[in-house]
Chain A
Amino acid sequence: MLRSLVAAALSYRVLVLALALTVAGLGAWAFGNLPVDAYPNIAQTQVKMILKAPGMTPEEVESRVITPIEMEMLGIPNQAILRSTAKYAIADITIDFTDGADIYWARQQVAERLSGVMADLPASVSGGLAPISTPLSDVYMFTIEGPLSLQQKRELLDWTIRPALRTVPGVADVNALGGFVRTFEVRPDLVALAGTGLSTADISAAIESGNRNDGAGRLTSGEESLIVRAVGAIRTVEDLQSLVIASRDGRIVQLGDVATIGIGSLTRYGAVSKNGKAEAVEGLVIALRGADARQVVDGVRARLVEVEKTLPADTHVNVFYDRSDLIERAIGTVEEALLEATILVVVLLILFLGDWRAAAIVAATLPMAALITFLFMRGMGLSANLMSLGGLAIAIGMLVDGAVVVVENIVERLGRAHDDDHPRLNHVFQATNEVVVPVSAGIVIIALVFLPLLALQGLEGKLFAPVALTIVFALAGSLLLALTLVPVLSSFGLKSGHHGDPWIMRRISPRYRALLDAAFARKRLVYGLATAGLVIAGIAYGAVGKTFMPTMDEGSVIVQLTKLPSISLDQSVKGDMAAQRALLTVPEVGDVIARVGADEIGLDPMGPNETDSFVRLKPQSEWRGDKDFVVGEMRKAMEGMPGIQPSFTQPIEMRVSEMLTGARGDLAVKIFGPDLATLADLAGQVQRTLSSISGASEVLTVANDSVDYLQLDIDRAAAGRFGMPVDRMQDALRAQVEGIHAGIVAEGQKRVPIMICGDESLRSDPTRFADLQLRTPEGILARVSDMARVERTQGPVKLDHENGSRFALVQAFVSGRDLVGYVDEARAAVAAKVKLPAGYRIVWGGQFENQQRASARLMLVIPVALLLIFFVLLATLRSLRASIVILLNIPFAMVGGIVSLWASGEYLSVPASVGFIALLGIAVLNGLVLVAYFRQLRTEGRSMTESVRLGAERRLRPVLMTASITAFGLVPLLFASGPGSEIQRPLAIVVIGGLITSTLLTLVLLPILFERFGESARETENA
C-alpha cells in the first residue's frame, strides 16, 4: 500500500504539487480560523447551582436549602462528585459529572430536579443554575472610572454596559461587582404604623397590589376604537408616598403617612476597592464554555468602544485584565520557539546533507506538516493553545526524520545513477521504496510513544491530550509528506551525480571511527561506564523533586486576603484598602483592584472576610528581579498587617484549583466527619502540623473560625400569647434588617427594586433591635425580647459537604519545595500526630492528587506502549534478539534526561515525563536505524564484527542528524521566557540531556551489544 502511494505520487507529480498547495492553503485558513486560547479546555462537565437565601445563617442554609437539594441530586446518573458549601445567605452546590458527559444534558438533569425541589425550599430562596462557564471564563475585567457616584456607576454597568456586552457572541454573562444597587426604599415608622393598626405585611401587600399598568380592552368611539389603559404603576417616590394602604370610614392611610420613602440601596454582600483610595465598580466578562476566547475579547473590546461613546462626560472604562494579552504572549512564546527551531533545523540540514537543494526539500516539509496538523486540529475541534502548539514545537525535530531518510537515500541513489539509462523517476521511486518500511516504522514508533498521553485522566489528561494529538497529527502529516511530496520535489529538484561527504561529516567520521576502535578494544570499560551512568541516574531520580506541573506565569498576581470571619463588610473594605496601600509600596506593583464578598451572579460566593486582590504588575523591564522576587516583596509588604492573612496565586491557577477540589491551594486536606466541633478541632491539629513542615508558605482553615450571632430563640408560648406566628415574626425581623422585596419600578429598561427595610440606626444597634416592637396579626404590639430569648452566640462561618458528608478543609500553599516531597512528609506527620476518632477520615487532594493520578496512569500505560513498540520492532526486524537489544537502549537514554533535570534544579513533573516519553521514541528509532543496517550487512554476507563496525560508521550521519535536529529543535524552548515556557522547559531539558547520552550510547554501546547478543548461535551459524 505504501509502495503504491509512493508510485502514485510520482506518477501524478503535478497533481501532488497542486494538492500540496491546496492543502497548504487550507491549512493556512484552518490556522487563521482555529479557536485560540491560552490553555486547552480543561473544564470538566460541571453544573453549579447558586442560591441566595437572604438572612439565613450557614446552618440554616445547610439544613433548609442544601440538604433537600442534595437529596434530590444524589441520584443523577454519571455524577462524579457533589460538593456543597453553605455560607451566610448563600448555598453553593456543584456537581461534577464524569468525563464525556454532555454539559447540556447534565444541566437539563440538574434543572429538572432543582425545579422539583424548589417548591420545598423557603420562599425567600432564589437563584438557580450558574452560567455555563469554566475556570478560564473570566476573560475581561474592567472598572468604571469618572466623576459619577458609586450608585450611578453601578447603574451604568447594570443597565447600559452589561446588556450591551451580553449580546457579544460567546459571552455567557457579565458579572457586576461593587457599588450600590439603587432601590426605592420604604422605611416604616413603627410608631405611626402601630397607630394605624397596620403592619409591614400590609405595606408589602399594598405596594404589590398598587403597582400595575394594565389594559382593559377596546371601546368604540364613533367610527374609531379606543384602547383602554389603566395607569397605576409606581414611577416616582411621590407615587409611593401617595399609595393608599388602608381606607376606613372614608379616611385613607397613605404610605407616606407611615413610612419614610426615599432612594436607597440593596443590602451589599460584596464590594470592590482600588489602589487603596476608594471603592470602585467592576465588570467581569464571563466567556461561554467552548467559546473562542480571543474572538470573545475582540468582540467585547469593539462593543466597549461603541458603548464608551454613549457614557456621560469624563466617564470611561478602565480595563485591568484582558485575556488576549496572556493568549498573545503564550502563543507568541510558542510561535517564536517554532520559528527559531525551524531556522536551526534548516541550518543543521544544510550542514549534514551538504546540499542546499536537499536541505530545502526537507525544510519544506516543516511548514507543510504544520499546516496539515492545523487542518487535523480544526477537524477535531482542537484549539490553538499553549499545549497544542507546544506539541508542534516538541515534534519539530521529529517531523523531518522521515523526509531526511528519504532525501538522503534519493541523493545517494541518484549519485550512483548518472551512467544508468533507467528513468530518473524510477531511481527516485526505488530509493523511496527502499526506505518506506523503516521510515514508516520509525514514525509509527514515535507516534506510539505519545499515545499513552491520551490515556491520562483529569486535568493532566485535558492538558496533555492536545499535546499528544498534535504530535500524532504532525507525525502522520510528516509521514504522508515523506512518501509523497518529498519524492516528487526530489524528482524535480535533486541533481544526479556524485555527492561527496559534507564538511561536518568529514570532521566527525574519523573521530567517531577512533572512538569506536577504542570502545571495541575496551569493552569492559564501556560496560562499566554505562552501568555507572545507570547508578548515577538512580541517585539523581531519588534526589530530584516531584511535582505535578510547573506554575505558568500568567503575568498577574492574585493576593487572597482572609480576615476575621465576623468582620463587617465596611471594615473588610477598609482592611483591603490598607493592604492595597501596602502592596503599592512595592515598586513593581502597578494597580491593585480588590473584590471582597460575593459577586452579583454568585459564581464566586466569598464571605465578607474573604478578598481577592488582583495585582497588575508593571512591565517586566521595570522589575528589580524575577516574579518570585516580586511576590516575595509583596509578601514582606503585607507582613504584620493586623487581622489579615495573605496568600498568593494567579487568576487562572486560582480558578483551576477551585474547579478541581472546590478549594484553593496546592494541597487540600479534607477531614470528613459528622460533628462540627470535632472537625474544627481536627482541622486545627492538621493546620498546625502542616505549618510546621518546611515548604509551607500558607496553611489556612476556616473550620475553627466562627461568626457572632444575635440569636433569637422564639418562645412559642410567649409568641402565641401575643398571637404572633413564628413565620410572621421571622418575616417581620427580616424586613427590619435585610429588607423585603415589595416590587419593581420600571424606568424604561431599568428595573429598580422597591425594598421595605428597617431604620439604619436599628441595623447598627443590637440592643435597640431586641427592643423592637412588632405588630402581631391580632393587632397587638409586642416587643421582640418578650417573644424570644435574645442572646449573643457563635456559629460556623461556612459548612462544606462532599457527596452529602460534612468536611472541614485545610488548604496549604507550598513554595520553594517539590509538592510530592512536602505531601509525603505531611502525611507521615499527620498520621503520627493527629488521632482520628471513629467515623472520621482524611482525604488528601489538590494539585498533588493530579500528580499521583498522572504517575499511576503513566506507570500503567507506558509499559503497554513499550510492548506495542516491541511488536512493531519485531514485525520490522523479524528478530527477537535484535528487538530486545534496541529496547535495551531506552534506560541509557533516560540517564541523560534525569541527570540534566537534577542538574538544572527542575522538578520531575508531567511535562518532564512527556520529555521522557519523547526520548524513548527517539532512542528506539536510532537503535532501529543502526540495527536494521547491521542486519542488512549480515545478510550481504559480511562478518558480525565487520557488520557492526561498518554499519555504525555508515549510519553515523542519520543517527547524528535525527538526534541533533530533535535536540536543536528544542533549544528555543530551553531559553524561552514568555508564559508557558515554564511548562516546556523541563521537557526540553529532559530530551536534550537524554539525547546526548542516548546518542553516545547508541553509537558506542549498541554496536558492542549487538555484536555480543544480536544473534543466536544458530543464526550466526546460518549466516
Chain B
Amino acid sequence: MPDLLLTFHCATRDVETVVAAIRAASQAPIHIHDIAVRGRDFSDARTAERVMGNLDRSAIELIVADDAMTELVRAVAESRRDLPVRWRAVPVVARGRLA
C-alpha cells in the first residue's frame, strides 16, 4: 500500500492543539499552511469570520503509512479543539529529495 498524504483543515487557532494530538500519535514531519477560505458554507465559522466572509483556516499535512491514518484521525477527533476539523487522505504516488 502507498503512503498517504493526510491533510487536516482546522481553524488557525486550533493548530497547536491539533499538532500536539498528531505529534503524540506520529513522528512524521508535519507541514502547516495558513489558508484563507472564501467559503459559502459558514456553519463552522466564528462570528468574526462570518463578518469578514473569510474563514481563517490552516492546513496540517503529513505523510503517513496507510495503517496509521485511523489512529491519527481518532487522536485529532479527541483533541480539545474549538471548531470542527475537516480531513482528507490521498495516496502519495511518488516522492523524492533532490539535492
Which A residues contact B (CB, under 8 angstroms)?
7-8, 10-13, 421-426, 428-430
- Shortest beta-carbon distance, A7 to chain B, in Å? 5
B23-51 contact mask (Cβ, 8 Å, vs A): 1 or 0: 00000000000000000101001111011
Q: B50 touching A426 by the CB < 8 A rule?
A: yes
Q: B40 touching A429 by the CB < 8 A rule?
A: no
Provide a sorted-by-A list of 19 A–B residue pairs whose CB atoms are within 8 angstroms. Answer: A7-B48, A7-B51, A7-B52, A10-B51, A12-B47, A421-B40, A422-B40, A422-B53, A423-B42, A423-B51, A423-B53, A424-B50, A425-B50, A425-B51, A426-B50, A426-B51, A426-B52, A426-B53, A430-B53
Chain A residues lying within 8 Å of B45, measured Cβ to Cβ, are 423
Q: Residue on B with the closest CB to A12?
A: B47
Cα separation A426 to B51 with both chains bound (whole Å): 4
- Shortest beta-carbon distance, B51 to chain A, in Å? 4
Chain B residues lying within 8 Å of A430, measured Cβ to Cβ, are 53
Task: Other than A10-B51, A13-B47, give 4 A-B pairs with Cβ distance below 8 A.
Answer: A7-B48, A423-B50, A425-B50, A426-B50
- Shortest beta-carbon distance, B59 to chain A, in Å? 22
Q: Residue on A with the closest CB to B53?
A: A426
- Shortest beta-carbon distance, B53 to chain A, in Å? 4
Chain B residues lying within 8 Å of A426, measured Cβ to Cβ, are 50-53
Q: B47 touching A11 by the CB < 8 A rule?
A: yes
Chain A residues lying within 8 Å of B51, measured Cβ to Cβ, are 7, 10-11, 423, 425-426, 428-429
Cα separation A914 to B21 with both chains bound (whole Å): 68
Chain B residues lying within 8 Å of A422, measured Cβ to Cβ, are 40, 53
Cα separation A8 to B48 with both chains bound (whole Å): 7
Q: Given A421-B40, A423-B42, does the pair A429, B47 have CB atoms closer than 8 Å?
A: no
Chain A residues lying within 8 Å of B40, measured Cβ to Cβ, are 421-422
Chain A residues lying within 8 Å of B47, measured Cβ to Cβ, are 10-13, 425
Chain B residues lying within 8 Å of A12, measured Cβ to Cβ, are 47
Identify which of residues 47-84 in chain B touch chain A, using a CB-to-CB cut-off of 8 Å.
47-48, 50-53
Q: Residue on A with the closest CB to B40?
A: A421
Chain B residues lying within 8 Å of A425, measured Cβ to Cβ, are 47, 50-51
Chain B residues lying within 8 Å of A423, measured Cβ to Cβ, are 42, 45, 50-51, 53
Chain A residues lying within 8 Å of B50, measured Cβ to Cβ, are 423-426
Q: Given A421-B40, A423-B42, does the pair A11, B48 have CB atoms closer than 8 Å?
A: yes
Chain B residues lying within 8 Å of A428, measured Cβ to Cβ, are 51
Cα separation A789 to B55 with both chains bound (whole Å): 108
Number of interface residues, chain B, beta carbon within 8 A: 10
Chain B residues lying within 8 Å of A7, measured Cβ to Cβ, are 48, 51-52
Cα separation A711 to B2 with both chains bound (whole Å): 130
Q: Residue on B with the closest CB to A491?
A: B51
Cα separation A429 to B52 with both chains bound (whole Å): 7
Q: Residue on A with the closest CB to B52?
A: A7
Cα separation A718 to B51 with both chains bound (whole Å): 106
Instruction: Give the most central of A7, A12, A421, A426: most B CB within 10 Å.
Output: A426
- Shortest beta-carbon distance, A496 to chain B, in Å? 15
Chain A residues lying within 8 Å of B42, measured Cβ to Cβ, are 423
Chain B residues lying within 8 Å of A429, measured Cβ to Cβ, are 51-53
Q: Residue on B with the closest CB to A14?
A: B47
Q: Residue on B with the closest CB to A424?
A: B50
Closest 9 CB pairs of A and B: A426-B53, A11-B48, A423-B50, A10-B51, A425-B50, A425-B51, A429-B51, A423-B42, A11-B47
Cα separation A12 to B47 with both chains bound (whole Å): 8
Q: Residue on B with the closest CB to A427?
A: B53
- Shortest beta-carbon distance, B11 to chain A, in Å? 14
Q: Residue on A with the closest CB to B46?
A: A11
Chain A residues lying within 8 Å of B48, measured Cβ to Cβ, are 7-8, 11
Cα separation A425 to B47 with both chains bound (whole Å): 8
Cα separation A137 to B47 with both chains bound (whole Å): 57
Cα separation A11 to B56 with both chains bound (whole Å): 14
Chain B residues lying within 8 Å of A8, measured Cβ to Cβ, are 48
Cα separation A11 to B50 with both chains bound (whole Å): 8
Chain A residues lying within 8 Å of B52, measured Cβ to Cβ, are 7, 426, 429
- Shortest beta-carbon distance, A793 to chain B, in Å? 91
Identify which of residues 8-29 in chain B touch chain A, using a CB-to-CB cut-off of 8 Å.
none
Q: Residue on A with the closest CB to B38?
A: A422
Cα separation A529 to B40 with both chains bound (whole Å): 56
Instruction: Give the most central of B42, B47, B48, B51: most A CB within 10 Å.
Output: B51
Chain B residues lying within 8 Å of A424, measured Cβ to Cβ, are 50
- Shortest beta-carbon distance, A958 to chain B, in Å? 25
Cα separation A8 to B53 with both chains bound (whole Å): 13
Chain A residues lying within 8 Å of B53, measured Cβ to Cβ, are 422-423, 426, 429-430
Chain B residues lying within 8 Å of A11, measured Cβ to Cβ, are 46-48, 51
Cα separation A911 to B40 with both chains bound (whole Å): 56
- Shortest beta-carbon distance, B47 to chain A, in Å? 5
- Shortest beta-carbon distance, A15 to chain B, in Å? 11
- Shortest beta-carbon distance, B80 to chain A, in Å? 23
Q: Residue on B with the closest CB to A11?
A: B48
Cα separation A591 to B34 with both chains bound (whole Å): 84
Instruction: Give the most central of B45, B46, B50: most A CB within 10 Å.
Output: B50
Cα separation A907 to B51 with both chains bound (whole Å): 53
- Shortest beta-carbon distance, B46 to chain A, in Å? 8
Chain A residues lying within 8 Å of B46, measured Cβ to Cβ, are 11
- Shortest beta-carbon distance, A301 to chain B, in Å? 54
Q: Residue on B with the closest CB to A9?
A: B51
Cα separation A338 to B48 with both chains bound (whole Å): 38
- Shortest beta-carbon distance, A433 to chain B, in Å? 10
Chain B residues lying within 8 Å of A13, measured Cβ to Cβ, are 47
Cα separation A8 to B40 with both chains bound (whole Å): 21
Q: Residue on A with the closest CB to B54?
A: A426
Q: Residue on B with the closest CB to A432?
A: B51
Cα separation A977 to B24 with both chains bound (whole Å): 81
- Shortest beta-carbon distance, A234 to chain B, in Å? 87
Cα separation A428 to B46 with both chains bound (whole Å): 16
Cα separation A660 to B26 with both chains bound (whole Å): 87
Cα separation A429 to B51 with both chains bound (whole Å): 6
Cα separation A161 to B52 with both chains bound (whole Å): 70
Instruction: Give the most central of A7, A421, A423: most B CB within 10 Å.
Output: A423
